[in-house]
């Protein structure tokens, strides 16, 4: 049963998202978040539906057996190669840490090109229920303005959030893989298409199968 505190956290997260402003094959999402309706009743229905999905995600996470994260060396092996026109900035970095009883592993690689930069990070959250719940909820919404957009996406069945800011060409994609691993792809002077291409180069099946 989902606790009252968890439900409150999900509702607040949904409201915060709604009110805030701010080569390889391109991967297309199976689903995208929708902008909040201007009709109050319809908007309330959208938030309730997002809360329902987030609660289900929280329940799924709570039923999972806690595990230790994989060693960061396994994540380094899954970092993508430099996309066309980019070069790697040195060797990839990885670490496994234990802080306040929460243990995680991560690996990341920075790339650069003439006028652009890119960072790819893969993290094993070892079934971080709150984060998985929030991303699942956020994937239901979208917001667009003259400055850019922020929208939820579902890629290969995995929930995430994609952001794009026209000024500076800032693009970002955050995806939860297998309810456990988090893939972050972000950069400046790039396009959302490039971010999707980089996502397409990550071996998601192998990542989800890590133990």
pLDDT tens sequence across 183-198: 999 999 999 999 999 9
Which residues lie closer than 8 Å to 7 by C-beta, 6 or more apart? 51, 55
Provide the number of structural domains found in the chain: 1
- For every residue of 63-88, DSSP letters joined together read TSPP-PPPPHHHHHTTSPPPPTT-EE
Q: Are strands 31-32 and 87-88 parallel, antiparallel or unpaired?
A: unpaired
Residue range 17-30: average pLDDT?
A: 44
pLDDT at 57: 63
Find the domain containing 195 and state its range: 1-211
pLDDT tens sequence across 96-125: 988 666 788 999 999 999 989 999 999 997
Tokens (6 digits) for 125 = 């959250």
pLDDT tens sequence across 24-80: 444 555 455 555 555 666 656 666 666 666 666 666 666 666 678 899 999 999 999
């Amino acid at each position: 049963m989902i606790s009252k505190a968890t439900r409150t956290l999900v509702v607040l997260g949904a409201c915060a998202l709604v009110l805030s402003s701010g080569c390889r094959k391109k991967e297309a999402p199976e689903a995208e978040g929708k902008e909040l309706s201007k009709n109050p009743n319809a908007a309330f229905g959208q938030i309730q539906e997002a809360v329902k999905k987030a609660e289900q995600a929280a329940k799924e996470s709570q039923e999972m057996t806690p595990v230790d994260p994989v060693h960061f060396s396994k994540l380094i092996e899954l970092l993508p190669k430099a996309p066309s026109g980019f070069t790697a900035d040195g060797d990839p970095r990885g670490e496994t840490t234990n802080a306040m009883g929460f243990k995680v592993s991560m690996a990341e690689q920075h790339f650069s090109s003439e006028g652009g930069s890119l960072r790819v990070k893969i993290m094993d959250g070892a079934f971080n229920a709150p984060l998985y719940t929030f991303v699942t909820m956020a994937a239901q919404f979208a917001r667009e303005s003259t400055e850019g957009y922020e929208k939820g996406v579902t890629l290969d069945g995995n929930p995430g959030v994609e952001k794009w800011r026209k000024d500076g060409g800032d693009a970002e994609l955050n995806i939860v893989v297998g309810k456990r691993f988090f893939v972050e792809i972000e950069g400046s002077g790039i396009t959302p298409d490039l971010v999707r291409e980089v996502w397409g180069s990550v071996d998601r099946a192998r990542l989800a199968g890590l133990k």
